[in-house]
Structure 1
Amino acid sequence: MLLAGGATAQPVPEAVKSYGPIEATRDLLVRGTTDIARFEAVLNLFASRPGSPRILYEQWGSNDLYEITRAECQKGAQAADMVISSAVDLQVKLANDGCATAHRSTATARLPQVANWRDEVFGITRELAVIVYNKRLLSGSEVPRSRFDLIDLLRPEDSRFRGRVATYDIEASGLGYLFAFADAQQATTFGSLIEAFGRSGAIATCCSAELIDGVANGTYLIAYNVLGSYAMARAEENPDIVAVAPDDYTLVLSRAALIPRRANEPELAGAFLDFLLSASGRASLRSEHLIAQTDQEDPEALRLLETPETSLRPIALTPSLLVGLDQHKRREFVALWRSTFPNENGAAEVPPE
């Protein structure tokens, strides 16, 4: 199954950085889709502990990360020590195909069932799929609090939102495909929403950074289904950026970590996983908005507008995620997508989600 737009070239990481003591006698290779800037704090914290290994972190796009992990598994080649991806359906597929090593610990046993599949795939974050807008450009009455509101904004022929609403390109982004397919499974509004996107000339683009950049500079008035961790991080730099947790329902993603079957340092990878699930590890992830605190008395402090009516729907790490990866279903879904966004550029090589 080729997910990266038919490319045959060997995929390569988009960025690489190392952490920890140069004189360390052991190395831990971690590959992930999380931006280095967002994951750096927790990597530094782990690497600063006495006797820690040197960590090499490679930042990848989700489709390419899946492809290289799958290829190494099939060839029996030495792999990364840990793979962390926002495209959690692809992570479950890797484990289902026998490409993961089990890890059991007190920390993993505490995970809820939706965040631990067969002790092979583990949810390490808690991030919301949000609607992002620029408060300088939208009046209070225009802010969409739900998918119903978004459809209403796009309905008029003379809507000023025509061509100025954007979302992920599901062929370029594994995360985008996951969110869109989850919408199709969960929402009675999906048919109306995708029809409104097509009628109004909505834009499909590659990645979170491009979506948020477009909202910040006014190219887009609204970005839909954006990963909230990146939106809230940008809001710290630009107070005009606001994220809304839709009150009809809000998808909740836990980035999935797995230890490849051919990892060189599976014990070190297990120790790193336990650290990510520890109090100090989670505090570090929370500081980068990778764990959303949805029970805050003042949600505006996080610039995440949420109402008591918001229904949070976790994307569970279960075999049900494999439904969207069935080749026939995927072809049908991508065909529907292409008919909605006929002018998109397709699945080019892109930055990570």
Structure 2
Amino acid sequence: MPDQVKRLGVAAGLGAAVLIALAGCAPSAPGQATRASDVRAAAREGEVVVYINNDVHPELVEDFQRRFPKVKLRFVVLTSRDIQARVVEEARRGEPVADVVWTSAMDTQVKLINDGYAQTYESPEAKNLPAWARWRDQGFGVTSEPIVFVYNKRLLRGGDAPRSHADLLAALRADPARWRGKVAMYDPEHSGMGFFYLSSNTQFYPDAWALYDAMAKAGARTYVPAKPMLDRVASGEHLLAFDMNGSYADWYVRGHGPDVGYIVPRDYHLSISRVAFITRAARHPGAARVFLDYLMSEGGQRRLLEVRLTPVRPGLGAVPPPGARPVRVGPALLANFDQGRRAELLDRWRQMAFESQ
């Protein structure tokens, strides 16, 4: 009996040693709480494909690759509408390409999630996000970005630049001739972001329709992509671009000299988030989880801050401008796809006879 006990003790000791050794060999996820099994799977898969609707700073890619050198991060840049169409078509054909979809088109993201194109992931990092930025353990908002006015600082000096929606409305009414053809904005009929902004403004701002009417009477021009708007503000063809993503505006302003600036409206501003989800049929689900956790982790959020994408996690040094109206990630955004409501909004919009580019 003593020999049996001794042998059992030796076996138990060997078992513990094996477990310790295995634990020591377990892959790590530096700076994030990703499960070791997902890190191992990511290394085997070797790649994660992400659909995005904005260029992402190469520093973000470099940081991820440094942390996970066995996982190639591949971004595919598309419009939000093209992303939606591709995800649906890939699922229909059973030929998935995207592992993660990460865009600022919050309503389109929620629609895809609601229609079953996302998979559930109980991320250990999600608890660090505000409640409004999480939905069903499927959709995760990882930034908090203000919607701003971009303006020509050479032509709108000092107090001439509107500091709020109310200021812009007053300026358009007071001197429509000065503003004739001088306002640029997204076309809500042909731009997913444009419709999203139209829908959100009419919910948050009591004088939204009065402001849109004043812009139409001043001959405001509508666009689909953002860059032509900002280029024409920089050239002086337009004085102001209405409703631009603050992160994109900041990037543009820093690259185009002293003539262009942006204003966070002081009465209120929409605060939107770049929402990410893992596709239902992701070919690289382990790598997708690693990347999603990276975006939500403290390290990933600090990197977003460094590349001037405002992180959503509190306490990282980002001070949000006052007057934010965060757009919640969740089913309320599905109202933008209610055909009756959409038709009503666009019918009223068309009656104002905006000029498109």
Q: Say whether the fold is shared (TM-score over 0.5).
A: yes
Q: Retained in 2: the 8 A contact 1:101–1:120?
A: yes
Give how far 1:50 is off: 4.5
Give how far 1:25 is off: 6.0
Determine the C-alpha separation between the residues in 2 that align with 1:27 and 1:295: 32
Tell me the secondary structure at the aligned position of residue 235 of structure 1. Answer: helix
> TM-score, with normalisation over the residues of structure 1?
0.83
Give how far 1:152 is off: 1.2
Residue matched to 2:198: 180
Pick from 330, 341, 344 the counterpart of residue 332 of structure 1: 344
Q: Please, what is the CA RMSD of the aligned residues?
A: 2.4
CA distance 1:318–1:191, change in 2 (3 Å): same
Report percent identity of matched pairs: 35
Tell whether 2:279 aligns with 1:260. Answer: yes
Q: How does 1:1-353 map to 2 (within 5 A)?
A: 26-35=46-55, 38-156=56-174, 158-237=176-255, 238-291=257-310, 310-345=322-357
Determine the C-alpha separation between the residues in 2 that align with 1:248 and 1:136: 24
- CA offset digits 1:277-321 (Å, max 9, x no partner): 12221122112221179999999xxxx9x6xxx411001101000
**Unmatched 5+ stretches in structure 1:** 1-22, 346-353
Determine the C-alpha separation between the residues in 2 that align with 1:81 and 1:241: 37
Determine the C-alpha separation between the residues in 2 that align with 1:95 and 1:296: 29
Tell me the secondary structure at the aligned position of residue 289 of structure 1. Answer: coil
Determine the C-alpha separation between the residues in 1 that align with 2:259 and 2:277: 37
Count of residues paired in the alignment: 313
Q: Retained in 1: the 8 A contact 2:221–2:354?
A: no
Give how far 1:51 is off: 4.0
Tell me the secondary structure at the aligned position of residue 100 of structure 1. Answer: coil
Give how far 1:158 is off: 4.8
CA distance 1:318–1:158, change in 2 (3 Å): closer
Tell me the secondary structure at the aligned position of residue 261 of structure 1. Answer: coil
> TM-score, with normalisation over the residues of structure 2?
0.82
- CA offset digits 1:58-105 (Å, max 9, x no partner): 000011111111222344432410011111111111111111011112
Q: Retained in 1: the 8 A contact 2:169–2:211?
A: yes
Letter in 1 for 2:138: E
Q: Find the structure with the greater CA-based Rg.
A: 2
**Unmatched 5+ stretches in structure 2:** 1-42
